[in-house]
């Protein structure tokens, strides 16, 4: 089925939506994006995603030629035009077209587009039985290099670690930071449970501050589960009672082995299951 793409303010067929070869988003990864979910006709955590989109834009000094409420309306317009109820939205802004040099000055034509499509989650059995992951040797980019808080179009750091996961025969890899602390996975945040406490790398670890991560922390707080946002080592992962990863596309995936070491009992743990149930309830509530 041919989708309609919201492209610089117009809805156009997907086959006609094109970013120019001189666009610095293509030439240098100079741009930003968001991945957003729609459940039962509602955009999940819409304002948090729109806010992070504008924060990412500010982080790379990209002036988005729309207001937050215009972007909000554009997301809704794209969903309505495609007649979607449960979908995945990709909101992108590129630097725009310029000459071949990397200089971002004098680029005044950012390209903003929204794709609404079906969602590709992990296979269902992984949510039920848990998923193996590995730690990558590729470290997460230093926060003073390209801040991982910016959801930029340059994902090569994550893709390098994704290659390591795929080479090891698994779907995700945990990346450590420049200090050796656990940071995040290639496209997901990571949590562990130990002695009934939920722990996740703190923002200062150099993570993308995931919106699903925030939702899970709030659900844990509301459910009386103690939480710690802190530095974690690879050893902490190995001795955890439970582990799971979170992301907009993935939701909450139980992790049952890391570097071929069994986590906890080797099955999704009780706190993980409680949080998955609370999350499933939340995405469906009005």
Taking the CA atoms of 67, 73, 76 and 81 in sequence, report the sign of the dihedral they define.
negative
Q: What length is written for the chain?
A: 286
CA gap 34, 49 in Å, rounded:
7
CA gap 275, 282 in Å, rounded:
10
Q: How far is the CB of 238 from ligand PMP (least distance, A)?
A: 21
The one segment of 83-91, 114-122, 209-217, 258-266 that binds ligand PMP by CB under 6 A:
209-217
Of 210, 254, 264, 268, the residue at the interface with ligand PMP (CB under 6 A) is: 210
Helix (H, G, I), strand (E, B) or coil at 203: helix
CB nearer to ligand PMP: pick between 25 and 96: 25
Q: How far is the CB of 153 from ligand PMP (least distance, A)?
A: 12
Phi/psi of residue 204, nearest 5 degrees: -70, -10
User: Which pairs from 259-262 meet CB under 8 Å and 24+ separation?
Assistant: 259/134, 259/135, 260/132, 260/134
Of 247, 254, 264, 268, the residue at the interface with ligand PMP (CB under 6 A) is: 247
CA gap 154, 156 in Å, rounded:
6
Q: Give the per-residue contact string, 150-189, with ligand PMP (x = CB under 6 A; - = no).
A: --------x-------------------------x--xxx
Give the count of beta carbons closer than 10 Å to the beta carbon of residue 154: 17
Most distant CA pair in the chain, distance: 57
The one segment of 15-23, 54-62, 64-72, 240-248 that binds ligand PMP by CB under 6 A:
240-248
* List 46, 58, 149, 151, catalytic entry: 151
**Residues 1-60 within binding reach of ligand PMP (CB under 6 A):** 35
CA gap 43, 27 in Å, rounded:
31
Assess 206 for contact with ligand PMP (CB under 6 A): no
CA gap 167, 165 in Å, rounded:
5
CB nearer to ligand PMP: pick between 4 and 30: 30
CB nearer to ligand PMP: pick between 97 and 220: 220
Q: Is 149 designated active site?
A: no
CB nearer to ligand PMP: pick between 96 and 206: 206
Taking the CA atoms of 56, 64, 187 and 246 in sequence, report the sign of the dihedral they define.
positive
The one segment of 11-19, 62-70, 94-102, 208-216 that binds ligand PMP by CB under 6 A:
208-216
CB nearer to ligand PMP: pick between 157 and 256: 157
Residues noted as catalytic: 151
Residues that bind ligand PMP (CB under 6 A): 35, 158, 184, 187-189, 208, 210-213, 246-249
């Amino acid at each position: 089925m041919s989708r309609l793409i919201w492209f610089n303010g117009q809805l156009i067929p997907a086959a006609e939506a094109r970013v120019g070869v001189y666009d610095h988003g293509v030439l240098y990864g100079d741009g930003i994006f968001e991945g957003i979910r729609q459940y039962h006709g509602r955009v999940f955590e819409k304002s948090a995603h729109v806010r992070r989109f504008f924060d990412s834009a500010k982080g790379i000094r990209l002036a988005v030629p729309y207001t937050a409420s215009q972007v909000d309306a554009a997301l809704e317009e794209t969903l309505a035009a495609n007649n979607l109820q449960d979908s995945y939205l990709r909101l992108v802004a590129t630097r725009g077209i310029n000459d071949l040099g990397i200089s971002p000055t004098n680029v005044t034509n950012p390209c903003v587009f929204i794709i609404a499509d079906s969602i590709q989650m992990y296979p269902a059995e992984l949510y039920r039985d848990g998923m193996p992951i590995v730690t990558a040797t590729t470290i997460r980019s230093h926060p003073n290099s390209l801040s991982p808080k910016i959801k930029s179009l340059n994902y090569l750091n994550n893709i390098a670690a994704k290659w390591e996961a795929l080479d090891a025969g698994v779907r995700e890899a945990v990346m450590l930071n420049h200090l050796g602390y656990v940071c995040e996975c290639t496209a997901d945040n990571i949590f562990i449970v130990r002695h009934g406490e939920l722990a996740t790398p703190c923002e200062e670890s150099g993570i993308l501050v995931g919106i699903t991560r925030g939702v899970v922390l709030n659900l844990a707080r509301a459910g009386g589960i103690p939480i710690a946002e802190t530095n974690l080592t690879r050893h902490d992962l190995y001795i955890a009672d439970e582990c799971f990863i979170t992301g907009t596309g993935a939701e909450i995936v139980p992790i049952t082995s890391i570097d071929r070491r069994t986590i906890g009992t080797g099955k999704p743990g009780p706190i993980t299951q409680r949080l998955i149930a609370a999350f499933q309830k939340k995405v469906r509530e009005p």
